[in-house]
Amino acid sequence: MLVVVDEAHRVTSDPDAGAVLGQLVRQARKYGAGVWMCSQQVNDFVGTDLGRTLVATAATKLILGTEEAAIAASSEAFGLSAEEIAATSPPVVGRGVLISAGERTVVHVIPGPAIMAVAATVPVWAEPRPTPAQSAA
């Protein structure tokens, strides 16, 4: 099972929601589930005690495009080298830094169908709808 927490910076900045997220992360491991925390606001995410704790304890981290205003916070929170900063800024779709079990590398992520099923950003209302003839078939 995979639990995706989008806009995680909003959760880490709310004490009550943060407590629930912290418990979720601890319980997920116990039951063999994974938790992905996604945030476009790295400054806000690592600007809280909970956010810094989650960054420090996460086994795997993927840092994708970083806006110039967030480079310092990203560099400090994730210990990015000059090469890694250059790989994440300016942002390039799919390019990032993967940190796992003490290993680090610059990657280019090409999501497959399983990831796109949970990560596609096309609003449901924008997807093509079947015509009445297709619905009747």
For 23-37, what is each residue's pLDDT tens digit? 888 888 888 888 888
Structure tokens at 21: 């997220």
Q: Across the chain, where does the E strand assignment appear?
A: 2-5, 34-37, 60-63, 95-100, 103-108
| Domains in the chain, CATH or no CATH each | 2-110 (3.40.50.300)
Separation of CA 43 from chain center = 14
The verdict on whether omega for the bond into residue 90 sits within 30 degrees of 0, i.e. cis, is yes
The neighbouring-strand residues paired with 40 are none
Question: Between vectors from CA 90 to CA 89 and to CA 95, what angle results, nearest 5°?
Answer: 70
The neighbouring-strand residues paired with 95 are 108
Global model pTM greater than 0.95: no
pLDDT confidence tier of residue 126, bands split at 50, 70 and 90 = low
Tell me the Ramachandran region of residue 100: left when phi exceeds 0, alpha when psi lies from -120 to 50, beta otherwise.
beta
pLDDT digits (tens, 9 = 90+) for 56-95: 888 899 998 888 888 888 898 899 999 999 999 988 888 9
Count the alpha carbons within 13 Å of 128 in the hemisphere toward its beta carbon: 5
